[in-house]
Amino acid sequence: MGQERKKSLALIFGPTAFLLVRMAAQPFGEKAAWALGLAAWMALWWMLRPVDIAVTALLPIAVNAAFSLSPNERVISRYFSEIVVLLLGADLISLTWERTGLDRRVAVRVLCGIGASMRRQIFAWLGASAALSVFLPNVVVAAILCPIAAAMLRFVSGKQALPAAAVPILLAVGWGSGIGGFGSPIGGAANLVAISYLENLTGHEFMYVDWVVRFLPFLAFVFSLNLAFLLVMAGHGRLPGSGDYFRDLYRGLGPLSRGERIGLTLFAAATALAFLRPLYAALLPEMKPAYVFLSLGLLTFFLRDENGTPMLAWKFAESHVMWGMMFLFASGMALGGLLIDTGAVEKLAALIAEAEPRGGVGTVALFVVFGCLLSELSSNTAAASITLPVVIGICGAVGIDPTPYLLITVVAVNCAYILPISTRAIPVAHGLDAGVQIRQGLRLAVLNAIAVTAAGWFCLRFVPAFSALP
């Protein structure tokens, strides 16, 4: 079957699913049925990609206008919410890294210590990708590290084709840049979705330091599982010459330029101010992290590099800002809002609540599997936007505190390994066999779901401070 025919069928599958789910969900009510149909349509198009994700991301506006599911202003407001402002500001600062070459310098410096052992290779690539994605967008991290990994592998093998050792290394980059995102609130848009729900739940601002205290131990646990899986896959082989490759590459970069120093300072300052928010919240109550990042991001148009050129020009920013990522985030929030406004989430929660979850390990497993599944089919942002209100609804229906289940679900939606979607598409674009990723990713996804369920239940049962939000 030709690519055009596949794309045509995929285009048809979306609206067909929209209508079929609409008819099947009629008992939920007319508006709720349309909202659930929209969720099916968007999930299919996110998975099959017959059009760009940014096009799919605009569907809530069009569908809501056609079927009047919720006031239009409520849907439109999601597309430039406070969290979208944060994403824009962070993206502007990150663009200075790309323009000055600071992104490449940081990645190469981190990897200079790699030796010939495949085990050290796996640890370094997985560690670097996970650590960088704690502070940088996951897709950016994968886009930085994958070409460097592919170039290094071709260099040490002396061939244009990637060697067999490329499989675990490219998987380490793709998977590591995905899981690292939940290590900090700014590591991914899904985390910002979670924070918005947590703030609505508690009625006050959720401080970034509270996030780190709860999720860094979880990240260490998930990282260890990923590392063990990849080490078993890689075996005890060696990849000679790789340490020299990175050291030579780094020496060729020369000293830090003025532009690189400015980019590094802006990002460090924005990140520090986000985490130190409790110290100045009373003095500047409106200067939340979103506005910190945007304010410092705007400085990039005025500060000048060593050549007297502004760090960013609008034409460069306009063509390089990840507008599609922002639309994707906004559409997830818009879809989640429609599912809530139409009562679809309430009906779904009531349906699942009929299984009488009691808050034990079974309930944890239910939320973890639901979150992991949606994240595999679409993106972690979309998965968070759909899953988190369902978790809150179910917990409310059965009378249990939703906070710990919400936190555990955040981990689940940040763990996706199978389909070549989002960050996992980048290693495939650099030569990784998609079939290998699907087979190995399926194994790791099952192990990860079991492990996160067990760790989540342990925290729920034996670590009361985990869910005791201030």
DSSP 77-100: HGGG-HHHHHHHHHHHHHHHHHHH
If DSSP codes are grouped into helix, strand and coil, which group holds residue 310? strand
Q: Which residues contact 157 (CB under 8 A, 6 or more apart)?
A: 163, 165
DSSP state of 418: S
Residue 71 reports pLDDT greater than 70 = yes
313 and 247 housed in the same domain: yes
> Which of 293, 320, 347 finishes a domain?
320
DSSP state of 181: G
Q: Which residues contact 117 (CB under 8 A, 6 or more apart)?
A: 238, 239
459 belongs to a structural domain: no
- Greater model confidence, 429 or 248: 248
d(CA 47, CA 53) in angstroms, rounded, equals 10
> Which of 238-242, 253-257, 456-460 shows the lowest per-residue confidence on average (mean pLDDT)?
238-242
Residue 245 has a CB neighbour count (10 Å cut-off) of 20
pLDDT, position 116: 64
Residue among 266, 279, 313, 327 at smallest CA distance from 83: 327
99 and 222 housed in the same domain: yes
235 and 88 housed in the same domain: yes
Residue among 265, 208, 173 at smallest CA distance from 86: 208
pLDDT, position 176: 93
* Mean pLDDT rounded to a whole number for the chain: 83
pLDDT, position 349: 66
pLDDT, position 1: 54
Q: Is 33 exposed, middle or buried (0-12, 13-18, 19+ CB in 10 A)?
A: buried
Query: Number of folded domains in the chain?
Result: 2
pLDDT, position 370: 84
102 and 154 housed in the same domain: yes
Q: Which residues contact 123 (CB under 8 A, 6 or more apart)?
A: 227, 231
Helices and strands (DSSP H and E) totals, the chain: 24, 0
92 and 212 housed in the same domain: yes
Q: Write the pLDDT tens digit of every residue in 111-160.
A: 677 766 788 889 989 998 999 888 777 777 787 788 778 777 776 666 65
123 and 7 housed in the same domain: no
DSSP state of 403: H
Which residues form the domain of 87?
Answer: 82-320
8 and 114 housed in the same domain: no
d(CA 182, CA 372) in angstroms, rounded, equals 14
> Which of 67-81, 96-110, 307-321 shows the lowest per-residue confidence on average (mean pLDDT)?
96-110
